[in-house]
């Protein structure tokens, strides 16, 4: 059997997520995960633990942040509380994720202490 015939691991899905305003970032950010995480609205079907590659753009920041994350939860269609259908991506435990988490928390600042509802928990 040649290398070309061996089934390889499926390539991770690439998701581009551009968040334009702080309120949207607050609603999508998942501080519950130790490394941080982000909610991605999506009607596609995902499985828990699936690898996904997110290219994240933050408000007032021209840089795109690549994240090789994993699906850590799924909000199904028709979820209670009118929550948006989509997936929660857990950032990997690496230095890039720590820097991204710090950057998000820097942008959000006082918003993090807010009791406003989010898309997550």
Return the number of other C-beta atoms located less than 10 Å from residue 10's C-beta: 8
pLDDT at residue 116 tops 70: no
Query: What does the pLDDT read at residue 77?
Result: 87
Q: Does pTM surpass 0.95?
A: no
**Contact (Cβ atoms closer than 8 angstroms) between residue 112 and residue 31:** yes
Mean pLDDT (the chain, rounded): 86
In a domain? residue 54: yes
Does residue 116 sit within a domain? no
Could you tell me which of 100, 30, 115 has the C-alpha nearest to residue 58? Answer: 100
> Under a CB-based contact definition with an 8 Å cutoff, are residues 38 and 89 in contact?
yes
The per-residue pLDDT for 5 is 43
pLDDT of residue 121: 47
- The answer to whether the CB of 69 falls within 8 A of the CB of 37 is yes
Q: What is the pLDDT of residues 65-115, one digit of tens each?
A: 999 999 999 998 888 777 889 999 999 999 999 999 999 999 998 777 666
Is 74 among the domain residues? Answer: yes
Structural domain for 76, as ranges: 14-110
Residue 115 lies in a domain: no
The verdict on residue 98 lying in a domain is yes
Q: How many domains does the chain have?
A: 1
């Amino acid at each position: 059997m040649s290398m070309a015939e061996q089934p390889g691991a499926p390539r991770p899905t690439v998701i581009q997520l551009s968040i334009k305003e702080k309120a949207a970032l607050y609603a999508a950010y998942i501080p519950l995960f130790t490394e941080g995480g982000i909610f991605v609205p999506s009607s596609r079907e995902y499985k828990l633990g699936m690898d996904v590659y997110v290219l994240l753009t933050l408000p007032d920041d021209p840089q795109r942040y690549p994240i090789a994350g994993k699906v850590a939860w799924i909000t199904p269609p028709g979820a209670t509380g009118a929550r948006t259908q989509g997936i929660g991506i857990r950032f990997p435990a690496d230095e890039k994720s720590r820097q991204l988490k710090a950057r998000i928390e820097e942008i959000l600042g006082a918003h993090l202490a807010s009791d406003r509802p989010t898309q997550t928990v």
